[in-house]
Amino acid sequence: MEPYAALHNVPTLSTVNMGGSIFISGAPGSGKTSLANILGTDLTCEVIEERLDHPLVKAYFDDPKRWSFHLSTLLMLQSIEALDQHAIVGRDQWLCWDYDPRSHFEVFCHQLFANDRLSAHELALSESLHRALLRRYREPDLLVFLRADASVLQTRLAIRNRDRETQTLSSEYLAQLVTRFEKWKDEREGNPLIIDTTAFDIVNSDSDRATVIALVRERLQFLKR
């Protein structure tokens, strides 16, 4: 498949005299990693993926009550490491993250606490780690927020069939996450690009993929002004 930029004679980001970061956020199954990899190819930028190949991920899906704090700590530590590693972005370098490091605590930890999967003591410890993360955090040049209905998320999670993900991330829990993500998005500074992926299939549809790329590219062109 030809990149969107080549098909439509649009300059890639590497030819734009600027650099920066794109964070993609949303609930599990909203299409964050798929979009990040698509943008990495079509916009010629480095993709930074959340690392979910650690044994704690499977342990969490097997027993979320026991392993929620451990997994939350792991993901925040990995985010701190990634933020340190990519603290300096070159003038013409773009980074596309398939997650927003702030969401680990500000969305997931608070939802885990609400569902009695984190204790008050564990939440407080997580907040301390989150403060260390925020000292390294820089607001992205573009925040892309992917929205999808809980039923659509559940279907997509079933298709990707990752360990016991669908059993742990129930439709009720996903609906709670959707609500919390929406509130978190509304409280963020700036003007995130909101894409309702319920209506898009960026993995299997060339036209949907081109439409979403065009939306991102239009916003990036606006940032240049």
What pTM value is reported for the model? 0.87
Looking at domain 4-224, its CATH class is alpha beta
What span, in angstroms and rounded, lies between the C-alpha atoms of 122 and 115?
13
Q: How confident is the model at residue 2 (pLDDT cuts 50, 70, 90)?
A: very low
CB 142 within 8 A of CB 223: yes
Q: b/e string for 80-94 if b means 16 or more Cβ within 10 A?
A: bebbeebeeeeeebb
Q: Which of 98, 88, 100, 104 is nearest to 48 (CA)?
A: 98
Report pLDDT digits (tens) over 12-66: 444 444 568 999 999 999 999 999 999 999 888 899 999 988 999 989 988 999 9
Q: Bridge partners of 20?
A: 94
pLDDT of 12 reads 46
Report pLDDT digits (tens) over 114-170: 999 999 999 999 999 999 999 999 999 999 999 999 999 998 888 876 666 667 788
